[in-house]
Structure 1
Amino acid sequence: MSEIKSIAVVGLNVGRNHIVEGIVPRPERWRLAAVCDLNSERLDAVAEEFGVPARTGSFDELLAREDIDVIDLGTPPATHVDLTMKALAAGKHVVCEKPLAGSIADVDQLAEAERKSGRLLMPVFQYRYGDGVQKARRIIDAGIAGKPYLGTVETHWKRTPAYYEVKWRGKWATELGGVLMTHAIHQHDMLNYLMGPVAKLFARATTRVNAIEVEDCVAASLEMESGALVALSATLGSQNEISRLRLMFENVTFESGGEVYSPGDEPWQILPANDEVAAKIEALLKDYKPVGRRYLGQLDAFHEALHGRAPNPVTVADARRSLELATAFYHSAETGRDVALPLGPDHPKYRGWRPDEKEAAE
C-alpha cells in the first residue's frame, strides 16, 4: 500500500495555511490532488502557486473522484456540518477546521456518521502541536506532575473593524460565535488536553470592542473534574497580543511560550518542585523526538492514523468537549448561573447556543 495519500483542500483562506505548513513539506506523505473555492481569483492563485493539477468551485466534483482519499475543509464555520456529512457519505476521510459544528447535537450526529462511514474525521486543533505542549503532556501522563491545583488561560488578541470586512465574520448565523468560537477555542482545547475535563463553569460574555453581533470579551471561573480551579479570559481588544496558559500542579508549574498563534511551541517554562522531580523530567524527556508544529504536527499524526499505526490524534470527542465548554459558557452568561458538565440532550442549548436558534425554539 502506498504511503502517499491524495488530499483535496476546500476553502483556501485558512486552507492555504494547511497546504503551506502541513502538506507541501511532506511530498512523501501527501499528494495535493485538487483545490476548491468559490472565490475564483483565490482559487486560481493558490492552484498556480502550488502547481495543483485540478481546481474547481464544485464540492460535489471532488466527492465524485475516486482517487481522492482525504477532504480538508477550511471553509466558514456554518458550512462544516453539511460538507463533512457529504464527504463521509462519499467515503472520504475528513480534516475539518474549528469549530467543527454549531451545536452539541450536530457533533453527536457527526460522530455517528463517522462511525457508519468507516472513515476518520479529524477536527483541527493545531495549537496542540508544538514541542512545549507535547513535553508538558508527557510529564503529566507519566504521573510526574501530580495533583493539578490551579490554572489561568489568557487569549488577549486584537481585532479591528477591518477584520470584520469579511462578510461571514462577526455574525451568529455564519461565524457561530465570537472570541469563544474563533479565537480562544484553541487555548481552551489545550486546557482540556493538559488538565482534563471541566466539571462546572460560571461565565460572563459581552461585546465591547467592535460593532458586531457576537461576543468579543469573556471571562469565566471553572472547576475541573480533578478539583482544580481555572480562570479563563479572552478579548479582542488587547493592545499587545497574548496566548498564555499557566498551569500549577503539585510537582510542576507549566507556562506556555510567547508565540501568540502557536503557543504549543517551545520555549515553555517547566518548573519542577525540587531536584528529584527535575531528574525524573530529564530522564523522561531524554529521548524526546520533535513532533512538528501546528498543522505539520497534526497532519503528520493523522497520516499515521490513516495507515493504522496510531489512533486518530484529534477526535470528534475532543471537539465535543470543546463545544460543550462553549455551550456552557453561553448558557451561564445568559442565565447568570453555574453550569455543570457534561451536557446531554436534555440541556436547553444542546441543539444550539445562537440567539436565532433560541427564538426559533420559542
Structure 2
Amino acid sequence: MSRKNVAVIGCGIGKSHIIEGYVPHPDKFKVAAICDLNEDRLNAVADEFDIPVRTTSFEECLQNDDIDIIDICTPPGIHREQVVAALANGKHVICEKPLTGSLADVDAIMAAEKTAKGTLMPIFQYRYGDGIEKAKRIIEAGIAGKAYMGSVETFWLRTADYYAVPWRGKWDTELGGVLVTHALHLHDMMMHLMGPAAKVFGRVATRVNDIEVEDCASASLEMANGAFVTLSCTLGSQEQISRLRLHFENVTFESSHEPYAPGKDPWKILAANDAVQRQIDEVIGDWQPVSPRFTTQMDHFHRYLCGNGPLPVSSSDARRALELVTAIYQSSDSGAQVALPVNTDSPKYASWRAKTK
C-alpha cells in the first residue's frame, strides 16, 4: 500500500490528527511537513514528532511536490480559501469542521472539487468507534425498523479562558457558536444513523459567555423518514456530556456519554424482544474492535485513496450538516419553521449573519 505524505496546517487540533490519525498508521502516512504561524508551537510539535519540514508558509506546503495531502486544521474563517487553493494545486485535502461558513461557500468548494485532481475529505471523526458503528450496521441490516424519535444532547462547558483565543467567539473567524463548532459532531452522528431532516424549528441564544456567537441552542426536527428529533446544546453545563438516544420500532440506541468520543462503547442497544436480539447477535456477533475518532477515519481515507473502499466523509455530508445549521439560524431569526432543502433563495444561503425578513 502506498504511503502518503501529509502536510498538517495548524498545530492546535492538528496535533490530535498527528497523534490519533497518523502515528497509529506509519505504513500509510508520513507527516512530512507542518505549518503554523506560532513558531514556538510549530517547533515544539515538529520536534516531538520528528517532522522534517517546518514552515510558517501555507504556500510553501502547496508548492511542495512531495506532499500528497494537505490537512487543514486552521481557524474556520480561512477554510474555504485554503481548501480551494489546495485542490487547485492538485492535492488531496482533509479539512476540519466546520468545512466553511455558509452554504454558498460549501457549494463553491463542491464546484472546485469537480475539476480537481485530488479528493476532499471533511472531518467527522465522531462517526467512528465500536458503539456507533454497531448501531449503523444494525440499522443498515433492516433490524431496527421504523424510526420513531430521537434526542441529541451536547452539554459542554466553555468559559472565558476558552474564548481568550482571539479568533474564537467571533462571526468572522469562528463562523458560528455551539451549533457550528461543538454540536455539529453530534448532529452529524444523528443524521448518519437516522437520515436527513425535512423540517426544522430552532432557537439560538448567547447566555453563557460574552461573545458574538450563540452558546445555547435547541431545535425540533421532523426527519425525512417521519421521525421526530429534539436537539439541545449549551456551553454552560457543569457536567460535560454528549448523548444520543434514538428510538426505532425494534431497537433503542443510547450512546456513550463521553463528551469527546461518544462513538465509543459502551452503547446501550435495547432490543424489543428475544427474536430481535437474536437478529442483532447475528449481525454483530463477529464484531472486531474499531479504533475511535481520527484513527479510523484516516485509515478509511487511505483505503479510499488506494481504491479499496468508499470515501468515508464527503463534502455532501458536510453540506448536510451545515444545511441543518443554516435552517436553525433561519428559524430562530424568523420565528418560523424552515423546510429543507435550504436553497439559494434562503436569506441565510450566502451568510448566516444576514437577517431574515
Query: Structure 2 length as normaliser, TM-score?
Result: 0.98
Q: Which residue of 1 aligns with 2:195?
A: 196
Q: Root-mean-square deviation (CA), in Å?
A: 1.2
1:318 aligns with 2:298: no
- Aligned partner letter, 2:260: Y
1:283 aligns with 2:278: no
Consecutive unaligned residues in structure 2, runs of 5 or more: none
- Aligned partner letter, 1:167: P
Q: Is the 8 A contact 2:91 2:117 kept in 1?
A: no
Alignment partners' CA distance in 2, 1:215 and 1:152: 20
Q: Residues 57-109 of structure 1, C-alpha deviation per residue, up to 9 Å, x if partnerless? A: 00111111111100001100001000000000000000000000111111111
Alignment partners' CA distance in 2, 1:252 and 1:8: 43
Alignment partners' CA distance in 2, 1:289 and 1:301: 15
Q: Which residue of 1 aligns with 2:92?
A: 93
Q: Which residue of 2 aligns with 1:5?
A: 4
Alignment partners' CA distance in 1, 2:55 and 2:254: 44
1:83 is paired with a residue whose SS is helix
Q: Residues 100-120 of structure 1, C-alpha deviation per residue, up to 9 Å, x if partnerless? A: 011111111111211210321
Q: Which residue of 1 aligns with 2:137?
A: 138
1:258 aligns with 2:257: yes
After superposition, residues 21-60 of structure 1 pair within 5 angstroms as 21-60=20-59
- Aligned partner letter, 1:145: A
The count of aligned residue pairs is: 357
1:243 is paired with a residue whose SS is strand
Alignment partners' CA distance in 2, 1:151 and 1:323: 20
Alignment partners' CA distance in 2, 1:119 and 1:203: 37
Q: Is the 8 A contact 2:200 2:221 kept in 1?
A: yes
Alignment partners' CA distance in 2, 1:267 and 1:3: 34
- Aligned partner letter, 1:216: D
- Aligned partner letter, 2:158: R
User: How far did residue 257 of structure 1 move?
Assistant: 0.6
Q: Which residue of 1 aligns with 2:340?
A: 341
1:308 is paired with a residue whose SS is coil
- Aligned partner letter, 1:151: G
Q: Residues 9-39 of structure 1, C-alpha deviation per residue, up to 9 Å, x if partnerless? A: 0011010000011101111110110000011
The verdict on how the C-alpha distance between 1:149 and 1:349 changes in structure 2, with shifts beyond 3 A counting, is same
After superposition, residues 188-267 of structure 1 pair within 5 angstroms as 188-267=187-266
Q: Residues 224-269 of structure 1, C-alpha deviation per residue, up to 9 Å, x if partnerless? A: 0000000100000111111000000000000001211000000100
- Aligned partner letter, 2:222: E
Alignment partners' CA distance in 1, 2:329 and 2:234: 15
Q: Which residue of 2 aligns with 1:84?
A: 83
Alignment partners' CA distance in 1, 2:196 and 2:163: 33
Q: Which residue of 2 aligns with 1:128?
A: 127
1:117 is paired with a residue whose SS is coil
Percent identical: 58
Q: Which residue of 2 aligns with 1:352?
A: 351
Q: Residues 204-231 of structure 1, C-alpha deviation per residue, up to 9 Å, x if partnerless? A: 1101101001001111110000000001
Alignment partners' CA distance in 1, 2:223 and 2:25: 38
Alignment partners' CA distance in 1, 2:289 and 2:105: 35
- Aligned partner letter, 1:236: L
1:168 aligns with 2:167: yes
- Aligned partner letter, 1:121: L
User: How far did residue 149 of structure 1 move?
Assistant: 0.1
Consecutive unaligned residues in structure 1, runs of 5 or more: none
Alignment partners' CA distance in 1, 2:167 and 2:246: 35
Q: Residues 288-337 of structure 1, C-alpha deviation per residue, up to 9 Å, x if partnerless? A: 22332101010001000111111110000000000000000000000000
Alignment partners' CA distance in 2, 1:87 and 1:72: 10
- Greater CA drift, 22-31 or 285-294: 285-294
- Aligned partner letter, 2:261: S
Alignment partners' CA distance in 1, 2:101 and 2:167: 14
User: How far did residue 352 of structure 1 move?
Assistant: 1.5
